[in-house]
Amino acid sequence: QVQLVESGGGLVQPGGSLRLSCAASGSISGISTMGWYRQAPGKQRELVATITVGGTTNYADSVKGRFTISRDNAKNTVYLQMNSLKPEDTAVYYCEASAGWPYWGQGTQVTVSS
C-alpha cells in the first residue's frame, strides 16, 4: 500500500504562483512514475504532468512552459510548481503514484480567481 498526501493548494489571483507537494509513504520502494492530474467541475480528470524515477518529465500542452514537476526521491515527495496561473487552471489537483497499479491522493483544491 502507498499513501499519498497532497498540500499547497489554495486561492490565487491570475498570473500568480502556487507550489503543490505530495508526500508518499508506505510501500514506496515499488513506486515508479509519479504525477499530477486535475479535475475541474463537470470535466474528466486529466493529466497535468508526470515524472519518472530517473527524472524524465511529461506535460500536458496546456501547462507547458508554466508548470514544472520535480521529484525528491530521498524525501519520497513530488512537487508541482505552477506559475502564470490562469482561471482555467482551477481544479482539484490529485497526486498519483504508479506502484504496480495507480495510487491516488485525496486531492487539493486550486482556485485561480481575482
* Mean per-residue pLDDT of the chain: 96
Q: How far apart are CA 12 and CA 85, in angstroms?
A: 8
Q: How far apart are CA 58 and CA 79, in angstroms?
A: 14
Q: How far is CA 67 from CA 19, 27, 42, 59, in A?
A: 9, 28, 23, 8
pLDDT at 93 over 90: yes
Which residue type does 106 have?
Q
The pLDDT value recorded for residue 52 is: 94
pLDDT at 71 over 90: yes
Q: How far apart are CA 8 and CA 110, in angstroms?
A: 9
The pLDDT value recorded for residue 30 is: 85
Q: Cell 490529485: give the residue.
A: 94
Q: Could you report the per-residue pLDDT of 4-23, keeping only the tens digit for each?
A: 999 999 999 999 999 999 99
Over residues 27-36, mean pLDDT = 90
Q: Cell 504532468: give the residue.
A: 49
pLDDT at 100 over 90: no
